[in-house]
């Protein structure tokens, strides 16, 4: 498991670095980014927040646009941002190269249908291979939380709910909470997982929450002016299930905010403070 440094820049006295590596799970070369606060050292390792980005993104969008590093440096938290799908010439893409399926749209699941099952195993990559790599190479502890935006909000919620012992806390911006019943989820799940909708439920955060037995603290921010709210995100389903359960779940509807990184920028410090309470 060797890493090649792709770029590095000092930021808030810590470091933003990008690395490439060959992923066994995805069967291709991948790039990820890591922010390491100045306080991180092998004598004094720090916990990690995994950030999962949305449709069309790479490891770069959050790192460049979220404005997260000042607070992460202050709290002593590393941030790891993987890409949003397998990449490379041999990796199948949507025949129409649509933005919402194939490259840049891995949906953080393990595909079972050909040709997608050759590379599209983002679930196993994010939950197993990547943390193993990070913990082997960087001054971090095994203590971790998970967050993400839109498709990555779906990723953070579904991964966190499926692995309550692995993540201390979960947060999301504008998540796709109920992919089984929205157009983005329908398209992706039918190709990656096939037509048997029973298999979809294993990656649907509403279903996972309903059936979960262990409580992991969850914070969700959702902009009320988000163009995707009604058709794709469907936050109200998650809220309705959460209200029936006695769980530590907060869903904040934010008036006037849209689906952009300007929204994320506004509340990322509060998400980092939320995670920091459980990462210590």
Q: How many whole angstroms separate alpha carbon 251 and alpha carbon 239?
A: 7
- Interface region with its own copies, contact rule CB under 8 A, candidates 97-105, 116-124, 192-200, 254-262: 254-262
Question: Of 149, 99, 94, 158, which Cα lies nearest the Cα of 126?
Answer: 158
Please report how close the Cβ of residue 113 comes to its own copies at its closest, in angstroms.
37
DSSP letter (8 states) at residue 109 = S
CB nearer its own copies, residue 158 or residue 222: 222
CB nearer its own copies, residue 110 or residue 226: 226
CB nearer its own copies, residue 69 or residue 228: 69
Of the residues 116, 192, 261, 274, which one makes contact with its own copies according to CB under 8 A:
261
CA distances from 17 to 4, 9, 108, 218 (A): 10, 7, 23, 28
Residue 266 is a binding residue for its own copies (CB under 8 A): yes
CA distances from 51 to 66, 115, 186, 207 (A): 11, 27, 24, 22
Residue 262 is a binding residue for its own copies (CB under 8 A): yes
Kindly give, in sequence order, each residue whose CB lies less than 8 Å from that of residue 212, ignoring residues fewer than 6 positions away: 161, 164
Residue 252 is a binding residue for its own copies (CB under 8 A): no
List residues bridging with 221 in a β-sheet: 173, 252
CB nearer its own copies, residue 65 or residue 210: 65
Of the residues 56, 166, 212, 260, which one makes contact with its own copies according to CB under 8 A:
260
Three-state DSSP at 121 gives strand
Q: How many whole angstroms separate alpha carbon 228 and alpha carbon 234?
A: 9
CB atoms closer than 10 angstroms to residue 231: 10
Give the tokens for residue 91.
């990796």
Q: How many whole angstroms separate alpha carbon 180 and alpha carbon 247?
A: 23
Give the tokens for residue 179.
């992919």
Q: How many residues bind its own copies (CB under 8 A)?
A: 23
- Interface region with its own copies, contact rule CB under 8 A, candidates 65-73, 125-133, 159-167, 184-192: 65-73
CB nearer its own copies, residue 5 or residue 10: 10
Residue 258 is a binding residue for its own copies (CB under 8 A): yes
List residues bridging with 14 in a β-sheet: 11
Please report how close the Cβ of residue 174 comes to its own copies at its closest, in angstroms.
13
The contact pattern for its own copies, residues 187-226, with x = CB under 8 A and - = no contact, is ------------------------------------x-x-
Interaction site with its own copies (CB under 8 A):
9-13, 16, 64-65, 67, 69-70, 223, 225, 256-258, 260-263, 265-266, 269
């Amino acid at each position: 498991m060797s890493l090649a440094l792709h770029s590095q820049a000092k930021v808030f006295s810590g470091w933003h670095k990008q690395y490439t590596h060959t992923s066994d799970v995805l069967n291709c070369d991948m790039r990820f980014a890591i922010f390491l606060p100045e306080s991180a050292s092998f004598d004094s390792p720090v916990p990690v927040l995994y950030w999962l980005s949305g449709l069309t993104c790479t490891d770069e969008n959050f790192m460049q646009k979220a404005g997260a590093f000042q607070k992460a440096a202050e709290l002593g938290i590393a941030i790891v941002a993987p890409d949003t799908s397998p990449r490379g010439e041999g990796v199948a893409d949507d025949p129409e190269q649509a933005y919402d399926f194939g490259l840049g749209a891995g949906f953080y699941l393990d595909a079972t249908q050909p040709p997608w099952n050759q590379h599209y195993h983002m679930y196993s990559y994010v939950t197993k291979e990547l943390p193993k790599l990070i913990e082997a190479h960087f001054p971090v502890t095994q203590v971790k939380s998970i967050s993400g935006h839109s498709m990555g909000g779906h990723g953070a919620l579904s991964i966190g709910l499926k692995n309550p012992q692995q993540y201390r806390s979960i947060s999301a911006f504008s998540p796709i909470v109920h992919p089984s019943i929205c157009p983005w989820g329908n398209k992706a799940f039918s190709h990656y997982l096939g037509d048997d909708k029973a298999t979809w439920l294993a990656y649907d955060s509403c279903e996972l929450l309903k059936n979960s037995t262990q409580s992991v603290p969850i914070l969700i921010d959702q902009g009320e002016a988000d163009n995707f709210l009604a058709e794709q995100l469907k936050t109200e389903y998650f809220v309705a299930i959460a209200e029936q359960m006695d769980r530590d779940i907060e869903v904040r509807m934010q008036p006037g905010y849209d689906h952009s990184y300007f929204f994320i920028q506004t509340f990322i410090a509060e998400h980092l403070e939320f995670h920091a309470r459980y990462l210590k």
